[in-house]
Chains A and B, each alone.
Chain A
């Protein structure tokens, strides 16, 4: 068995293990993408509340997604995926009126019989991992675990070393080019401290973004995924909810309707520091073999000389 350490594995109380003596219950997001309508209110609310600077406007051709991805100045990102799928994948309308997507004209892509178009939307955010690689590798202690179990950058300490950026298995945190420091979602630490919910969850009109104690959210998510399976949405699955997962479960987890990589999420992320003890061990062995190699290089010529003079 692996010895217990705090780098990976099941971790029921990250806030307490980070040194908060009496932490409040761990909070998080449950993003139910099955009810996301792609309004981007979360993106706007996040930018407004956190006073995040504008970071460029471009038309990408990626459906309605011109935000492109999470970054230093984008802490919520709504993904849009247009797919051609078999009709069985999409549940029956159950009495609702179905309107044609395009009136009168042919569909954009040729469709075969039994196929239909489906449009997936999902609001992505920092996962506030139980085992957060960004926090683990931060050399200054700028990234820290809050009493709510979330992960936050202290901007007055960050020196812009950029190590957290490639450490994140989700590609969330990023350095702001104009500034040099690293930025990401704080789960509205200021609002949480005042007993408020984060701005994105507050703004979400369909309750696709749900905020609350993580335990409650996990229960609610399990019920929701069962409900969707019963309704015939066989592709519904939870992502990042499992405390046994590679990052010890996400503080922000998702209900997805397709494979995670379709949404730009890694299928099975693992916190890189899980392997850090092995890395240090090999680095130690490599350092010793460097010493040994040089010792041998000095010994061999001496031996050869002694044999030569004999």
Chain B
């Protein structure tokens, strides 16, 4: 039976954890019953490269939240941190744009992204956002490093701080506005996961690049971001139900666990020692940056895993039916006909 074969392969791919728990699992937790066409996925996973797109999620967050931190630092007279964050945001958004263009099937047609403005397409909205945010971040960074045109620099800093949070949060909508179960199912929580992760990255960068005497706000933000991210991820997993296992298993599980530990350790280290020791601040900041990257790559991997297994498409659509009022009259209204169970394809 191909169905079982598919299951076995999947379990094999889960590696160590899967094998260890196998016997107990079969006894204790029966796998969700569902039918499929030879175990083939129903939806198609995006062909996006993880490096480009999860990397873009990370860099966009770092840049966007970094611009807010830069504006705050400038307003409160923390000049070195402000300049460092402006440079970091320009670098991050430039790399982000390069990653986006690199991931296109036809990179030479990148300008087509600005052919229309479509509110129904998060990617179109994002392209316009980047088109507004990128130059602002660029002018802010150039004015800060050269010391010229301080007024224009201040306006650009303000503009970047206004567009920055949108750049950091819209990427969650970009992922959630798909049929990918692990992303769409968490569409309410994902924006908070992403902005918290962006805050973690930006405060980490400020700890790494700014002087210790200016780092108090970054340390505060690091702690707040770590707590907010943990809470948002937990809320997302709760909402996702059985699909949440895509965030706990396999590569996504490893990345999400790494993210949790790195972010928590980084925030704790920075809060406890970052005010006194430059080394502790840098180490904490690097851990925050790495934790944020792990979160993005983890969310990306969970999405791919949920798209590649028909279980995550079929089971939620079957069980959601009564609670979802708008869309599900169809499967309920028609009498469910007793058919041959789910696993009776005659494949050898």
Contact = CB atoms under 8 A, between A and B. Distances in A.
Interface of A: 2, 7-9, 60-63, 68-69, 71, 79, 81-86, 89, 108-109, 117, 133, 136-142, 157-163, 165-175, 179-182, 234-235, 237-238, 242, 244-246, 258-259, 261-270, 272-276, 278-280, 282-291, 293-298, 300-302, 304
A137 B339 contact: no
Interface string B82-116: 00000000000000000000011111011011011
Contacts of B166: 283, 287
16 contacts: A61-B347, A82-B346, A86-B340, A89-B340, A139-B121, A162-B46, A235-B337, A245-B330, A258-B339, A264-B38, A279-B122, A286-B192, A290-B68, A290-B168, A290-B169, A297-B217
A288 B106 CA distance: 35
Interface in B157-180: 165-166, 168-170, 172-173, 176-180
B195 A133 contact: no
A139 B113 contact: yes
A159 B173 contact: no
B72 interface: yes
Contact of B179 (A79, A261, A269): A269
Contacts of B191: 279, 282-283, 285-287
A56 B38 CA distance: 19
Contact of A282 (B38, B104, B180, B192): B192
Contacts of B173: 276, 279-280, 283
Interface string B225-237: 1001000000000
B123 A163 contact: yes
Given A79-B37, A261-B42, A287-B165, A165 B121 contact: no
A64 to B, nearest CB: 12
B36 interface: yes
Nearest to A305: B216
A73 to B, nearest CB: 13
A27 to B, nearest CB: 22
B307 to A, nearest CB: 6
Given A165-B47, A293-B199, A298 B121 contact: no
Given A174-B44, A259-B339, A269-B317, A301 B192 contact: no
Interface string B45-85: 11110000000000000000100110010011000000000
Nearest to A245: B330
B172 A68 contact: no
B165 A261 contact: no
A237 B337 contact: yes
B31 interface: no
A244 B329 contact: yes
Contacts of A139: 113, 116, 118, 121, 123-124, 127
B59 to A, nearest CB: 16
Contacts of A2: 326
A302 B75 CA distance: 12
A69 B40 contact: yes
What bracket does the count of chain B residues touching chain A fall in? 35 or more
A133 B121 CA distance: 9
B345 A83 contact: yes
A159 B110 contact: yes
Contacts of B228: 289, 293
Contact of B72 (A263, A268, A294): A294
A126 B116 CA distance: 25
Interface string B21-37: 00000000000001111
A300 B220 contact: yes
A81 to B, nearest CB: 6
Interface of B: 2, 34-38, 40-48, 65, 68-69, 72, 75-76, 103-107, 109-110, 112-113, 115-116, 118-124, 127, 165-166, 168-170, 172-173, 176-180, 184, 187-192, 194-195, 198-199, 203, 216-218, 220-221, 224-225, 228, 303, 307, 310, 313-314, 317-318, 320-321, 324, 326-331, 334, 337-340, 342, 344-348
Contact of A297 (B116, B224, B327): B224
Given A61-B347, A85-B339, A298-B72, A282 B43 contact: no
A157 B43 contact: no
Contact of A272 (B177, B188, B303): B177
A25 to B, nearest CB: 23
B126 to A, nearest CB: 8
B217 A301 contact: yes
B45 to A, nearest CB: 6
Contact of A160 (B106, B188, B314, B328): B106
Given A169-B43, A262-B37, A298-B217, A289 B110 contact: no
A140 B115 contact: yes
B72 A275 contact: no
A165 to B, nearest CB: 5
Contacts of B189: 282
Nearest to A239: B330
Contact of A175 (B2, B47, B107): B47
B177 A273 contact: yes
B340 A85 contact: yes
B315 to A, nearest CB: 9
B347 A137 contact: no
A297 B73 CA distance: 11
Given A162-B103, A180-B105, A276-B177, 17 more contacts: A82-B347, A83-B344, A137-B121, A137-B123, A158-B109, A159-B109, A166-B43, A166-B46, A174-B44, A261-B34, A268-B317, A268-B327, A269-B179, A279-B172, A289-B228, A294-B69, A294-B217
Contacts of B192: 282, 285-286, 289
A158 B307 CA distance: 23
Contact of A298 (B76, B184, B307): B76
Given A7-B120, A162-B47, A166-B44, A179 B105 contact: yes
